[in-house]
Amino acid sequence: MTDLDLSRELCGFIEQSPTAFHAAAQMANMLDEVGFCRLSETQPWDVERGGSYYVVRNGSSIVAFRVGEHLPQDGYTLQMAAAHTDSPMFKVKHVPELEGPGEYLRLDVEGYGGMLDATWLDRPLGLAGRVMVRTDEGRVESRLVASTKDVALIPNVAIHQRRDANQGFAYNRQVDLCPLFSAGALKAGAFDAMVAELAGCAPKDILGKDLYVVNRTAPRVWGWADEFVSAPRLDNLQCTFAGLNALMATHNDAHVTLFACFDNEEVGSGTSRGALSTFLRDTLVRLNAALGYTQETYLRALAGSFMVSCDNGHAVHPNHPELYDAPNCGHLNGGVLVKEAASQKYTTDALSRAVFTAVCQRAGVPVQTFANRSDNVGGSTLGNLSARHVSVPTVDVGLAQLAMHSSYETAGVHDTACLLHALQAFYACDLRLEADSFTLG
Ligand code: ZN
C-alpha cells in the first residue's frame, strides 16, 4: 500500500470516529474482523498461547494483545505501545438548551480539553457521543449516536459590531461559544428529542448522555504534490490508527505484543479508563494469571518489557519557527518524532531512545527529535502517566503535525506509514532487555 493510500484509509478511520466512544467501537470492529477475541472485564478469561484478544473499558478505552504461540513456560516479556482515543471538543451539558434571545435556541456546552477556540467558529458542526437508554426489558444500555448532518454552528460577531476583532480577541466560553441550534423552527425540548431519534428511543428513556459537538468536515489529502493530510482529531487518531494496524499485521511467536488506547488524555488521564487508571495493569495481571504464571513471573516480565507511548507532536510552524528549539524540532514528512524532556514529562531517556532508534533503523524509518524550548513547558502526554501503574522503560514518540488542538489539524502524508512500519518492526522483533542493556534479535 502506498503512503497516499494509507493516508486515505486514515481519513476514513477518522471520519468514522467522531468521539472516543466511536473510535473504540471502530477499533473493536476492526479487531473482530481479523479474529481477535473480545474479553469482558466482568467474566473469567480464557487466554491461550497463539491467541489474539482485546478488552474495552467504558466503551472508550481499549487494550488489544496477541500472545506468542511459543511463549516460554518460565517467563515472558511484553512489547507494548499506547495512544489515546479522545480529542478536544465541546461537550453538551445535561440540560442542553439555552432559550433566546428571541426565537433562538442555543446549546449549553463546556470545553473538553484545551482546544483552539477560534477554529470552532463559523463552521457547521455535528453531534456525536453515547447515551444510556432504558430498554423494554428493564435493562439500561449504552448506544452510540452520531448525526448524519450538521446541526449547530458557533457564529462569530461581525467585524462591524466588533471593530477590534482582528487585534486579538479572547473568547469567553460561557458567552461567546454557545452553538446555535435553531433560529425558531425548533422549540425547547427539540435537542433531547433529536438525540432520542438518533438513539432510536423515547426521550424519557434516556438516563444519561455523553454528547459532543463535533467537526464533521471530511478529512482530506491535499497539496499540488499530495504532501498533506488535514482532518479533525489527528491528535491522536493518527497514532491510534498506525498502532492498531501495526498490531493486527504482526505476529510474534516469543512475546506478548499489546496496543493500549486510553480515553481522557485531554483532561489529564485521571479517570477509571485513562492512562492513570489501573486498566492496563489490571489487564496485564489477569493475562499473567490466565496463562498460569506466578506473581513473580509477572514482575520479572515487567522488568524485561518495553512501552512505546505514541502521541502526536509539533511540526515547526512555517510562520513561527522562533517558537521551537531549532536543533530539536520536527518537520512534516520527516519520520517519527522522538520526544524528550529533562522533566521526564516525556519519558524518553538514553536507554528507551536507543531501543526505539535501533528498531527504526531496522525498519528503515527516519527518526527526528523533539524537545520544547527551554522557556516553555509544552504539553503533556500519557507515557509518564501509564508508567505509574505499569513501570517499564518507555519512549515517547509521535507524528509531527501543525495546529494541534485546532478543530482541523494538518500532518504529513508520509508520516503515518513511518509510525506503522516502526511499530510493526517493534512488535516483530525479539527485544531482550536486561537492566540497562538490550539486544534486538
Ligand atoms: Zn495527544
Yes or no: say if 352 and 306 are a contact pair by the CB < 8 Å rule. yes
Check pLDDT > 90 for residue 192: yes
At 404, the pLDDT band (50, 70, 90 cuts) reads very high
- Which pLDDT does position 79 carry in this prediction? 98
Residue at which a domain ends, from 190, 215, 240: 215
Q: Edge to edge, what strands does the sheet with 256-262 contain?
A: 37-39, 52-57, 61-67, 256-262, 78-84, 306-310, 394-398, 336-339, 367-370
Look at the alpha carbons of 83, 84, 88, 89 in this order and tell me if their dihedral is positive or negative: positive
In a domain, 380, yes or no: yes
> Considering the entire predicted model, what is its pTM?
0.97
At 286, the pLDDT band (50, 70, 90 cuts) reads very high
- Which pLDDT does position 322 carry in this prediction? 97
Coil, helix or strand at residue 420: helix
Residue 80 and residue 95 in one domain: no
Q: How far is the CA of 381 from the centre of ligand 1 (A)?
A: 6
CA distances from 157 to 48, 134, 174, 180, 365 (A): 61, 41, 15, 13, 47
- Which pLDDT does position 380 carry in this prediction? 82
Q: Which residues form the domain of 124? A: 89-215
Q: How far apart are CA 83 and CA 266, in angstroms?
A: 12
In a domain, 78, yes or no: yes
Residue 308 and residue 425 in one domain: yes
Reduced 3-state DSSP string for 235-268: HHHHHHHHHHHHHHHCCCCCCEEEEEEECCHHHC
Q: How far is the CA of 425 from the centre of ligand 1 (A)?
A: 23
At 435, the pLDDT band (50, 70, 90 cuts) reads confident
Q: How far is the CA of 37 from the centre of ligand 1 (A)?
A: 28
Q: Averaged over 409-432, what is the pLDDT?
A: 98
Q: How far is the CA of 340 from the centre of ligand 1 (A)?
A: 15
Give the Cα-Cα-Cα angle 96, 158, 318 (nearest 5 degrees).
95
Say which residue, 381 or 261, is predicted with more confidence: 261
Q: Averaged over 312-318, what is the pLDDT?
A: 98
Check pLDDT > 90 for residue 102: yes
Q: How confident is the model over 26-52, as pLDDT tens digits?
A: 999 999 999 999 999 999 999 999 999
Residue 163 and residue 238 in one domain: no
Share of the chain above pLDDT 90, in %: 96
Task: Using a CB cutoff of 5 Å, list residues around ligand 1, an ion.
Answer: 235-236, 311
- Which pLDDT does position 35 carry in this prediction? 98
In a domain, 227, yes or no: no
By residue count, the chain amounts to 441
- 210 closest CA partner among 61, 407, 406, 21: 21
Q: How far is the CA of 315 from the centre of ligand 1 (A)?
A: 14
- Which pLDDT does position 282 carry in this prediction? 98
Q: Averaged over 62-85, what is the pLDDT?
A: 97
- Which pLDDT does position 195 carry in this prediction? 98
Yes or no: say if 425 and 343 are a contact pair by the CB < 8 Å rule. no
Residue 275 and residue 393 in one domain: yes
Lookup: cell for 172: 469567553
- Which pLDDT does position 377 carry in this prediction? 84
At 231, the pLDDT band (50, 70, 90 cuts) reads very high
Residue 47 and residue 95 in one domain: no
- Which pLDDT does position 379 carry in this prediction? 81
